[in-house]
Amino acid sequence: MAGASGLERVREFRFRPLDKPEELRAAEELERQAMGGGTEVPVNVSVLRGALDHGGLVVGAFADIYLAGVGADLLGWNGSELYRFALLTAVRPEYQHHQVAYRLMAYRREAALQQGIPAMRWNFDPLRSRAARLSLRRLGARCEKYLPHHLGRLGWKEEEEMDSDRLRMRWGLNEPEVEARLAGTVPTGAEDLAAYQSARSVVRTEENDQGLRVPTEVGEPAGPLAHLEIPFDLSAVREHDLPSARRWRYAVRDAFRACTDLGYAPVDFLVLPLEHERRAFYLLRPTPPASGGGPAAPSPPK
């Protein structure tokens, strides 16, 4: 598989399918720890067993004998394409900087290709910069649809509930752009900065009194390139200023709607050190009309 340089740095991890009941219970418990007070209910043992019994996959990442991460897939069919749906990707917090999520996806890609399945799909919260970077920058997946209020309102406590918007991604497992991303072919830091500087801003932001960046205005994309900012660390915003997290939700929803209406789609994801802080942006281009059976896949910026 491509991307060997990254894999060499975390060679201590082993990946294998899970199927024993105690392993599935461990996977559920790992997800609870990975969520760390997040907004979603864990995928429970019954769902994991159902996935296994009906053509799906549950895979674990192990550091020695310790379960460090887990991924679970279902078989999906949308009327025209058989694919795998990535139901779950979870990594213990202490391993979230060791490429475990990336390697879980790489393992599942190989499993799908061995079955002759051409694509994977998944949903993620568009405010989560880690998931956006993995999906767009590392894996080369493409956004199919913005799903507002997809799971209703979620939260551990009523006062913490937020709308559960999602982005639906499609990962064409054999597409040249995907192969290039897996091989580590990505724009340089200088190219990222140049793309940011040349792009039109869709979500304008400023720092509030607590030092957190918040949205102030939503515009429309124009020209060959646009960027759409999200929080670099949504968990920190939720913890310290929940009303601002809600402002982010509605601003990003409005921004994606404006971009969709004007034919723009995300093609990459940037994390940039700007002045004294790290900031996160979707990079969008006008999308050419799809030809044939699959969704259009715009080229990433060069």
Q: Cα–Cα distance between 28 and 48 in angstroms, integer?
A: 9
* Per-residue confidence (pLDDT) for residue 6, from 0 to 100: 39
Mention every residue, 6+ apart, whose C-beta is less than 8 A from residue 63: 12, 13, 95
pLDDT at 156: 58
Indicate the range of 6-15, 140-149, 281-290 predicted with least confidence: 6-15
In terms of pLDDT, which residue wins out, 6 or 281? 281
Read off φ and ψ for residue 240, nearest 5 degrees.
Answer: -100, -20
Contact 56/41 with Cβ under 8 angstroms? no
49 and 127 fall within a common domain? yes
Residue 269 reports pLDDT greater than 60: yes
Domain extent, residue 94, equals 4-182
Residue 293 has pLDDT above 50, yes or no: no
**Greater confidence, 299 or 174?**
174
Measured CA to CA, the distance from residue 198 to residue 189 in angstroms comes to: 14
Could you tell me if residue 116 is inside a domain?
yes
User: Could you say which of 182, 212, 247 is where a domain stops?
Assistant: 182
Listed residue (99, 111, 114) closest to 4, CA to CA:
99
pLDDT at 288: 78
Q: Which of 231, 40, 4 is nearest to 132 (CA)?
A: 231
DSSP codes, 129-147: HHHHIIIIIIS--EEEEEE
218 shares a domain with 100: no
**Residue 91 contacts residue 69 (beta carbons within 8 Å):** yes
- Whether 269 maps to a domain, the answer reads yes
Tokens standing for 38? 């997040």
**Rounded to 10 degrees, what is the CA torsion of 188, 233, 107, 41?**
-160
Q: Identify whether residues 19 and 132 lie together within a single domain.
A: yes
Asked whether residue 129 is assigned to any structural domain, the reply reads yes
Question: Over the stretch 52-81, which tens digit does the pLDDT of each residue have?
Answer: 999 999 999 999 889 999 999 999 999 999
Answer yes or no: do 173 and 37 share one domain. yes
Q: Per-residue pLDDT tens for 231-247?
A: 999 989 988 999 999 99
- Encode pLDDT of 184-195 as tens digits: 999 999 999 999
User: How far is Cα 230 from Cα 253, in angstroms, rounded to an integer?
Assistant: 11
Model confidence at 139, pLDDT cuts 50, 70, 90, reads very high
Which pLDDT belongs to residue 35?
A: 79
* One domain for residues 50 and 126: yes
**pLDDT beyond 70 at 301:** no
Domain boundary at 182, 200, 234, which?
A: 182
CA-based nearest residue to 246, from 39, 68, 52: 39
* Segment (H or E) for 231: none
Residue 298 within a domain: no
pLDDT for residue 263 = 97
**High-pLDDT (> 70) share of the chain, %:** 88
Q: Which of 91, 136, 150 is nearest to 271 (CA)?
A: 136
Q: pLDDT category, 258, cuts 50, 70, 90?
A: very high
**Integer Cα distance of 238 and 156 in angstroms:** 12
On whether both 245 and 177 belong to a single domain, the answer is no
Structural domain count of the chain: 2
Average pLDDT, the chain: 90
Q: Rounded CA gap, 154 and 162, in Å?
A: 6
Handedness of CA 199, 259, 87, 29 (dihedral sign): positive
Higher pLDDT, 224 or 33: 224
169 lies in the same domain as 199? no
Pairing assessment for the beta strands 213-218 and 203-207 based on DSSP bridges:
antiparallel
Q: Is 154's pLDDT higher than 90?
A: no
**4, pLDDT greater than 60:** no
**Is residue 119 assigned to a domain?**
yes
Predicted local confidence at residue 151, as pLDDT: 87
Residues 79 and 140 grouped into a single domain = yes
The model's pTM is 0.88
- The predicted pLDDT at position 52 comes to 94
Q: Residue 37: pLDDT band by 50, 70, 90 thresholds?
A: low
Q: Where residue 34 sits, what CATH number does that domain have? A: 3.40.630.30
223: number of Cβ within 10 Å: 10
Helix (H) or strand (E) holding 239: helix 234-240
Q: What is the pLDDT of residue 42?
A: 80
For residues 256-263, give the mean pLDDT: 97
Mean pLDDT of 93-122: 96
Residue 109 lies in a domain: yes
Choose one of 163, 182, 201: the last residue of a domain. Answer: 182
Torsion of CA 255, 260, 264, 265, to 10 degrees: 90
Question: What are 158-211's pLDDT values in tens digits?
Answer: 556 888 999 999 999 999 999 999 999 999 999 999 999 999 999 999 999 888
